[in-house]
Every structure is written in structure tokens, then in C-alpha cells.
Chains A and B, each alone.
Chain A
Amino acid sequence: MIHNLIMRRGVHPDASKNTSELPTIRLESFAKVQIPMSMHIGAPCAPCASVGDQVSVGQKIGDSPAFMSAPIHASISGKVTAVKKVVSSSGSSVEVVEIESDGLNTIHDSVKPPVIESRADFIKAIRESGLVGLGGASFPTHVKMSPPPGKEPDILVINAAECEPFITADYRHILEHADEIIEGIISTMNWLGIPKTVIGIEDNKKDAAGLLRFQIGKSGASDSIRVKLLKTIYPQGAEKPLIFNTTGRKVPTGGLPHDVHVMVLNVATVRYVARYLKTGMPLVRKHLTIDGSAVARPCNVTAPIGSFIMDIVDQIGGVKQSPAKVIMGGPMMGVAMDRDNVGILKANNAILLFDANDAAIPEESPCIRCSKCIDVCPMNLMPTGIDAAARAKDLEDLVRFNTMDCIECGCCSYICPAKRYLVQGIRMGKQLLRDSEAKKKAAVKGEQ
């Protein structure tokens, strides 16, 4: 009972779902795209197209022999003009492939529905589709679908919570492609042998939940698929709280959902599963919400992966004023960009452009010990303590306060009346712990 209360902690930011009533606009013509070779967690891909090559939509342009990786495909047809390195959001450099469009969008010969006869075929097909977790974490989907022996999921949780302000991409996805979503769920359940599915959706999207229920009834799977309405609170869609709120299971510290026999897929991910099985078109386009105070006409679009942010914004009506901040993702967890000529990624579900007024960040002031951050933390942590330990580089305290459990949802920074940069501090703490862990490993290796 107490856990139930704890896992429902969070904040109520202004939802600002301005685009929920606007149908998705399909954007086609882009002069140029820039596709990074690492849009997933795991080993980055090596480009398998070189400068001057003619590529077409759906053609593989990057792959890696590593298991923990997902191939990258060309999202437009045209000529490869550059393969170069750029600074990524984490500060390290990442390889990108630039393609100049020929305006034809010809589809590559390799794009045809996969032949699937077994579970292994299914997982292989998912890998070939380049699918990653589209909720934002971009964990390769085929890795999620091949859990270690003994940890096979007995329940599939579909994340349709979409708790971040502004973002309506998943909501529109449900309204426009509910049939494909249910198809995707059914084939995933069939091929992976999962008996049950729960779709978790926030109770501010009752119409979408109703539509999903209707489609479930139509497909005749009402016994195995259930839609569960969840309280509207941020971060309802975060993996660990979501698993708890839909199944009542608690993922252990440092564990993954498969430790409690659960598999979590985003609602957009299962829709792309269904689409790939039907058409064989890999993940080359992405649904996203374009919003923010600097955008003239906020809306939902689908655009080729790698198309530049400003190109997309220009095509839907441009900006009201020059944006002071460009955020990839939602306002709570998204990453502010250092430039506006970056290509969109597989896991992007929003691009937010804010004017100078909205982008201003208040000055930090000393902690007043109000403990509001502790009250709202969905992971039941002590953000202010972790932040202080990280700033003092106190490794012992960082371990003691379970720093690695933080999901970086941003509730603490949002609620803090002293405007402490808590999440940044916690991220530094995590980095310190990872560094010390690496050092310890190196020392052990050195001794051997």
C-alpha cells in the first residue's frame, strides 16, 4: 500500500497539449538529411555507404556486428555527399552520413515483407527493421525481445502514457493507427509467446483508450489485451513506475523489466512492428510533435529520420521569432541542442522551440531544505542529497543514496523553489560513479 503511494509520486506541469486535435502532416521533400550512425543505446554502426554512392529509401547505410545495436537505413533517396564526424549531445563525437535528395524518393529493392516462420525469424526481422524503443530511450527492440533464459516475459506492457507536456505524437498515433497498434501487439504476443498485454494510458486520453478498446474487440483479443487507465501525473510513462502501476511488479535496483518477467514497448514501437511485417519498410520516418512558443504553427508531423530541425519547421510555417532554445524531446527530459541544424533521431518524439522569454533559466540559489524534491521523486530518492554529494565528489554518499536509480525525469528540478540544477548534479554524480567503476575494473585487470 505504501509502495503504491510512493510509485505515484510526481508533478503536474502544465500539459500544454496544443497539438492534440491536429492531424499528422506528412512531410516529404527535404533537400538534405544528416543521419547519425548512433541513434540507439549500444555499439555505434559503421557506415556502409561511402561518398558518391546513390542510395534509395530503406537501403541499409550503417550496421554493426554487435548484438546490442540496430542498423540504420537511408530515409530519402539520393547521393551520399559526406561521411563525417560531429559532436553529439553527450560531448563525444559521432559519425554522420549526409544524403542529398534526388527528389524521387525511390524505394530500395530490399524493401519487401519479411518471411517469418519462427520466433528467431521474428527477432531477426525486428533487428533488420532498425527498430529501437521509440519512447525516447532508444533501446534496440530486438535486444529487448531476446531476454536471458529464465527471464522470459509473461506480460507485455504497452506504454501509451505520454506524460510529458507538449508531446501528442503517440496520442495522434493511437487515433490514426489504432488498428496497426493492435496488430503489432498481437503479432509480438504470438511470436514471443507472451500470454497477456496491458496498455497503460493516462486518463486524460480517454478517447484514445476507447478507440484501442474498440479495436481490441474487433480483433477478438479482448481476453488477452487490456487497456488500463492511469492517473495523469508526470512521469507516469517512465518505465519502472509504469510497470508498477500496470502490473504491480517492482523492478529491482539496477535491474531491467525482464527481471520481473515484463517487457515494455512504446505504442509507436508496436505500430512500426506491424508496419514492418506488412510492408518491409524499415524505420526511416518518425512521428513527432513540433511545438513551443517560437513556432508559428505547432503541429504533428511525420518526417524522414535525419531531416534538419529547421527544415521541418520551415515546411510547417516557420518560426514566429528566432528561437532561443531548441529542445529535442519533451520539456522535462529533452536535450537542448547546441545548434539548430541537427537531424532528427529515431527516438525523437518532439522538437520544441522556445523564445527567449520561455527559454530563460532562473539563477540557482542555495537549498532551503524544504524537501519538496524528495516528496515528488517517483523513484523514492533524495535528490538534494545526491546533488550535494555529487558536487562534493563524495563517492560513498553517492552509492549510499542509490544515485544510479535516478531516471532523470526532472521532477526535482521542476519543483525546486530554490531552482537548484538538481538533475544536472545527479547526472554528474552518475558519471563520477561510472568513472570510479571503470577505474576499479582497470585496476583489477592490471593486477591480473
Chain B
Amino acid sequence: MPINILIVLSSFSFREILIPVAILGGIALVMGLLIALISRLFSVKTDELQVEVMSALPQANCGACGFTGCEGYAKWLASGGQDMGKCPVGGPSLPITLGKILGVEAQASQPPVAHVMCKGTNENTSKRYEYTGTKTCASAHAVFSGPNSCTYGCIGFGDCVEACQFDAIDIVGGIAVINELKCKSCEKCVPACPKKLIFMIPKDHKTYKVECRNHWPGGETRKHCKVGCIACQRCVKVCPTLAIHMDNNLAVIDPEKCINCGKCFEVCPTKSISTPENIYMHL
């Protein structure tokens, strides 16, 4: 130790050092006791069960369950909520995991996937006018229903891409395409589409589907899109299980009745019907 410090130290008496130490130490002790006391008195009782449920949930806070984030759903489950299948994002085995924690029997869920019902890519449709405004579907939709020749079809500015937290949607060839492997069924994209083109379809029981939403008569549709449903009703006639009906110039396939025979796909003259496979896989 350098000599000058020793000199400084020796100029204080031991008592002069002890008094401030005692004062500060005393304050710290009282404060510490107060903190301990207050934390005891005002402690929030945490539900062990809720913490455990919370840790099993995906922590995405997307709100697909209908609660305010994962915390809200965990609280509901821990306080006696019965439905364990409300979180599609957690995957099919989540209800089983939750069931184990809560001591209830639960079955694996079958979450649906989102699907864009439009095939109107840039090759299949044309532009009615040049749109120069803000590049969002909602804005474009408010200007003469969007620049596409088909006013029912996908605009392709990607409002759904923006809405998707899981990076499952891409704009390919001017229309939105959903990657079913990435889709977590949170349904956030469904209300984001101003054209109401996104539908939730079963993931495991995939059927043939009419990928079109236009309600024009056939002749009008032909003018605007190469692959639109022209309401010829050939699919309706050929379907062996009567699974197809017409809804205002649009053929609609009932997935409950469809047996995946593929006859409608073969007869469809405009190929607006597509196979059960995800077209994303071919891109």
C-alpha cells in the first residue's frame, strides 16, 4: 500500500469511520426488512398451473385463440376452461400436452390451413387500368375495385403477406400463395383480404376445390380471366356424390361430400378446379 494513503487513513480516527458505516448499514437493514415485509404483504399469488400451461403454449401472442395473447388463454385454461383445441398455432399435439398438464384426456386437433381461392395470375388476367396509388390491396380495392381485369380476384399487393406473422404467404405471379407447411391456422390473413378470397380448408382431408370466387355470367368471366369459373355446370353434372352446387354463377365443392375422384377436374374447361395438392409445392 502506498505510503500517502496510509497517511490519509491514519489521520481519521477509527470512530469517525465507524459512525457512517453504522448509519448506512442501519438504513440498508431497515429498508431490506421493509422490502421483505411489503413483498410478503402484497405478493400476487401465481398459479403454478397457469405458469406450466403458459410454457407449453407457443408464445406467439397472435390472438388466434380469441384471448388476448397466450397469457390470456393460459389463464382461462388454468381456471377451468375446457377447450384445449383453441390454439392452432401450437400444432396438432398441443391439446395432448395441455391435457397432460391439466390432467384431462384430450385428442389431437386437426387445424385447418388458409387457402387463396384465386388463380388469376398475371398471365391469366390483365390490367384494366394502371394503378399508381398506395400499394396496398385495401387502397387499390377502394379505387374501382382494383386494377385487375377480374374485380373478384386477388389484387396481389400483399395485405395478407403483411398480416401473416409466420411468413407463410408469398406473392407469386401477381397473386398470393400460401405455404401450407408454414401456415399455423391463426386466420389473421382472412379478414386482411378485401376481396374475401382466403378460406380455411382442412389440412388432412384435402379435396378438389374451385379456385375462383367470381359471380359473373360465363361470357363476362371469359373476357377477364383465362381460368375463371364460367358456370358451365359440367362439374355439377359429372360429380358422383352430388358434392358440387352452383352459387350465383360459381361452382362450389362441398369438402364433406367430395371423395377425391377427380372427375370434375377432368371436365372443367377452364381448369378453375385444382387438385388436392398444394400448388406451392410445384413452385
Q: What residues of chain A have their CB less than 8 Å away from a CB belonging to chain B?
A: 87-92, 336-339, 361, 364, 391, 421, 424-425, 427-428, 431
CB distance from A331 to the nearest CB of B (A): 15
Contacting residues, chain B, for A428 (C-beta < 8 A): 134, 136, 138-139, 142
When each residue 128-165 of chain B gets 1 if its CB lies under 8 Å from chain A and 0 otherwise, what string results? 11001110101101111111000100000000000000
Known: A339-B129, A361-B132, A421-B134. A427 touches B142 (CB 8 A): yes
List, in ascending order, chain A residues with CB within 8 A of B139's CB.
Answer: 424-425, 428
- A87 lies within 8 A of B144 (CB): yes
From A428, which residue of chain B is reached at the shortest CB distance?
B139
Write the nearest CB–CB distance from B44 to chain A, whole angstroms. 29
The complex places the Cα of A89 from the Cα of B151 at a distance, in Å, of: 12
Beyond A91-B144, A428-B136, 15 additional contacts (C-beta under 8 Å) are: A87-B144, A87-B145, A87-B151, A91-B143, A336-B143, A337-B129, A338-B129, A338-B144, A338-B147, A339-B128, A361-B133, A421-B133, A427-B142, A428-B138, A428-B142
Q: How many residues of B contact A (CB 8 A)?
A: 16
B128 x A91 contact (CB < 8 A): no
Does B129 contact A90, Cβ atoms closer than 8 Å?
no
**Complex Cα–Cα for A425 and B143 (A):** 12
With known contacts A338-B128, A339-B128, A91–B133 Cβ distance under 8 A: no
Top 8 A-B pairs, shortest CB-CB distance: A91-B145, A338-B144, A361-B132, A338-B129, A421-B134, A424-B133, A338-B128, A424-B134
* Interchain nearest-CB distance for B89 vs A (Å): 22
CB distance from A234 to the nearest CB of B (A): 21
Contacting residues, chain A, for B147 (C-beta < 8 A): 338
In the complex, 18 of the A-B residue pairs with CB atoms within 8 angstroms, ordered by the A residue number, are A88-B144, A89-B143, A89-B144, A90-B142, A91-B144, A91-B146, A92-B145, A337-B144, A338-B128, A338-B129, A338-B147, A339-B128, A361-B132, A425-B139, A427-B142, A428-B134, A428-B136, A428-B142
CA distance A129 to B132 in the complex (A): 39
- For residue A150, give the distance in angstroms from its CB to the closest CB of chain B: 37
* B131 CB to nearest A CB, Å: 9
Closest to B144 in A: A338
Query: How far is it, in angstroms, between the C-alpha of A336 and the C-alpha of B141 when the chains are bound?
Result: 14
What B residues does A337 contact at CB under 8 A? 129, 144
Interface of A is mostly: loop
Q: Give the CA-CA distance A92 to B147 in the complex, in Å.
A: 14
Contacts of A391 on B, CB cut-off 8 Å? 134, 136
Q: Contacts of A424 on B, CB cut-off 8 Å?
A: 133-134, 139
Of residues 210 through 233 on chain B, the ones whose CB sits less than 8 Å from some CB of chain A are: none
Bound Cα distance from A128 to B38, whole angstroms = 79
Q: Give the shortest distance, in Å, between B8 (CB) and chain A (any CB).
A: 57
Q: State how many angstroms separate the Cβ of B158 from the closest Cβ of chain A.
A: 14
For residue A87, which residues in chain B have a CB less than 8 angstroms away from its CB? 144-145, 151
With both chains docked as a complex, state the minimum distance between the C-beta of B139 and any C-beta of chain A, in angstroms.
6
Please, which residues of chain A bring their CB within 8 A of the CB of B151? 87, 91
Q: Which of chain B's residues have a CB closer than 8 A to the CB of A361?
A: 132-133
Task: Report the bound CA distance from A194 to B141 in whole Å.
Answer: 44
Instruction: Give CA–CA (A427, B143) in the complex, Å.
Output: 11
B250 CB to closest chain A CB, in angstroms? 16
A residues within 8 A CB of B128?
Answer: 338-339
Q: Quick one: closest B residue to A363, CB to CB?
A: B132
Taking the closest CB of chain B, its distance from the CB of A323, in whole angstroms, is: 12
Distance in Å from the Cβ of B84 to the closest Cβ of chain A? 27
Q: In the complex, what residues of A have CB within 8 A of residue B132's CB? A: 361
The CA of A89 and the CA of B141, in the complex, are separated in Å by: 10
Give B211 Cβ to nearest chain A Cβ, in Å. Answer: 22
- 0 or 1 for each of B20-32: is its CB under 8 Å from A? (1 = yes): 0000000000000
Establish whether residues B134 and A91, one from each chain, have CB atoms under 8 Å apart when the complex forms. Answer: no
Question: Shortest distance in angstroms between B187's beta carbon and chain A's nearest beta carbon?
Answer: 17
Question: Provided the pairs A421-B134, A424-B134, A425-B134 are in contact, do residues A91 and B129 lie with their beta carbons within 8 angstroms?
Answer: no
A interface footprint on B195-214 (CB within 8 Å = 1, 0 otherwise): 00000000000000000000
Contacts of B134 in A (CB 8 A): 364, 391, 421, 424-425, 428
Residues of A within 8 A of B142 (CB): 90-91, 427-428, 431
Give the chain A neighbours of B143 by CB distance below 8 A: 89, 91, 336, 338
**Closest Cβ of chain A: how far from B130's Cβ, in Å?**
8
Residues of A with C-beta under 8 A to B133:
361, 421, 424
> Closest approach, in angstroms, between the C-beta of B165 and any C-beta of chain A?
15
Please, which residues of chain A bring their CB within 8 A of the CB of B141? 91
Q: How far is the CA of A431 from the CA of B136 in the complex (A)?
A: 14
Report the Cα distance A375→B94, complex, angstroms. Answer: 56
CB distance from B138 to the nearest CB of A (A): 6
CA distance A427 to B133 in the complex (A): 12
Q: How far is the CA of A391 from the CA of B159 in the complex (A)?
A: 11
Collect the chain B residues with CB atoms within 8 Å of residue A89's CB: 143-144
**Which residues of chain A are within 8 angstroms of B145 by Cβ–Cβ distance?**
87, 91-92
A89 to B138, CA, bound (A): 15
**Interchain nearest-CB distance for B150 vs A (Å):** 11
Inter-chain contacts of B129 with A (CB < 8 A)? 336-339
Q: Cβ of B136: which chain A residues have Cβ within 8 Å of it?
A: 391, 428
Question: Which residue of A87, A92, A338 has the most chain B CB atoms within 10 A of its CB atom?
Answer: A338
Which chain B residue has the least Cβ–Cβ distance from A92? B145
Residues of B within 8 A of A336 (CB): 129, 143
How many angstroms from the CA of A315 to the CA of B75 in the assembled complex?
73
Query: A430's closest neighbor in chain B, by CB?
Result: B142
Closest to B141 in A: A91
| Nearest CB in chain B: distance from A113 CB, A | 40
Closest Cβ–Cβ distance, residue B152 to chain A (whole Å): 11
B138 contacts across to A, CB distance below 8 A: 428, 431
Q: Which residues of B contact A425 (CB under 8 A)?
A: 134, 139
A93 to chain B, nearest CB (A): 8
Instruction: Determine the distance from Cα of A336 to Cα of B133 in the docked complex, in whole angstroms.
Output: 11
- Residues of B within 8 Å of A421, CB to CB, are 133-134
Chain B residue, CB-CB nearest to A89: B144
A89 to B147 alpha-carbon distance, docked (Å): 12
Least CB distance, B223 to chain A, in whole angstroms: 13
Chain A residues closer than 8 Å to B146, beta-carbon distance: 91
| Complexed CA–CA distance, A25 and B132 (Å) | 34
Q: Closest residue of chain A to B146, judged by CB?
A: A91
B252 to chain A, nearest CB (A): 21
Interface residues of B in 252-275 (CB under 8 A from A): none
Docked Cα-Cα span, A431 to B143, in Å, equals 12
